[in-house]
Every structure is written in C-alpha cells, then in structure tokens.
Structure 1
Amino acid sequence: MKKLIVSSIAGSALLLSCGPKSVAVTGPKYTSSEQLAQGKTIFENACSKCHKLPDPAKHDDQGWIKTLSRMAPKAKLSDDQHQMVYDYLISVNKK
C-alpha cells in the first residue's frame, strides 16, 4: 500500500512538471513605447520563422489571447515575451 501511495505521488509530480509553465495572458500589462517596440520585434522575428505575419486587425483582443495562447509555446516565448507581443498587437489593433 505504501508503495502505491509513493508511486501515485511521484507520478503526479512528474505529470505536473511536464505541464505548460506559461501563465495565460488575460489583458494588457505593458504600455511603454519601449516595451511595445520590443513586442513588435519579438512578433516579427518569432512569428515569421514559421509563417507570414498576420495582420494585427485579424483578431480582437480576446481573439489574440486565444491565438497567442496556442502559438507562444510553439515559438518558445517566455511569459514576458508572450505578454509584450500581445500588448503590441492590441496597441496597433483598432478592433
């Protein structure tokens, strides 16, 4: 019985450690022109590696949250980079 409990705890810890580390973006955080410029640079460099850059007007704020939540891990963006890209996109998006 003791082995079963220890195995269950170890298995749970392993599964949790393999899960996504990123905290979802829920809204704007960075507003300085320097941070928005960094977001633009990250967007242009990271996203263009795999596909044509989408028009920022393609999605509204919530649409970008959903899209970036899928794409940021693929682009290996840190939480801060993810946030800066989101903040850049919504700053230039007029939706």
Structure 2
Amino acid sequence: MKKTILTAAAVSLFMVSCARSNAVTGPKYTSSEKLSQGKTVFENSCNKCHNLPEPTKHTDAEWIETLSRMAPRAKLTPDQHQMVYDYLISQN
C-alpha cells in the first residue's frame, strides 16, 4: 500500500513539474520597446548556458516549442518569455 501511494505521489509530482504554464501561443508585442527588451532578455538569459542560436534557425511554431522548454530553465517570467518570442519571430 505504501509503495502504491509513493508511486502515485511521485507520478503526480512529475506531471506537475512538467506542466507548461504561461505558454506562448503567438505574438503579442509589436512595439520597438518590447522587442528591444525581448532581445536584451534573449541575449542575457539564454547566453548564460549556451551560444545564442540565430533567430532564423527556427520557424515561429518551432520557437514556441523551444521556448516552452527553455524559458523555465532560464527562469523567465511569463512577460519575458513573451517578449523573447516576439523578438525572435520579428527577426524571421
């Protein structure tokens, strides 16, 4: 019985940790100020762990998937996540 409860708790915790809240679904910001902020966040946050990919490396849809994985690792706020996405797609 204990094993079943622990397994259920572990699975629940895993699912919650993998949940994608604050997901970007499309463009929101178009002002030059927000796009500039997105560029700054992209350069400062993403460059900490790896070389920056070219914005043209992915399609708009691929950037949604990539940022959905990477934004939590970079500890981006939902607004920062959106600004980075909008900057990247503005370069495509």
TM score, norm. by length of structure 2: 0.79
Q: Are residue 31 (structure 1) and residue 30 (structure 2) matched?
A: yes
Q: Are residue 45 (structure 1) and residue 44 (structure 2) matched?
A: yes
Deviation at 1:57, TM superposition (A): 0.6
Query: Structure 1 vs Structure 2: percent identity of aligned residues?
Result: 71
The residue number in structure 2 matching 1:87 is: 86
Could you say which structure has the larger radius of gyration?
A: 1
Where structure 2 has 5 or more consecutive residues not aligned to the other structure, the ranges are 1-8
Where structure 1 has 5 or more consecutive residues not aligned to the other structure, the ranges are 1-10
The answer to whether the 8 A contact 2:39-2:87 is kept is yes
Instruction: Compute the RMSD of aligned alpha carbons.
Output: 1.9
Aligned length: 81
The residue number in structure 1 matching 2:74 is: 75
Deviation at 1:22, TM superposition (A): 3.0
Runs of 4+ in structure 1 off by over 4 angstroms are 18-21
TM score, norm. by length of structure 1: 0.77
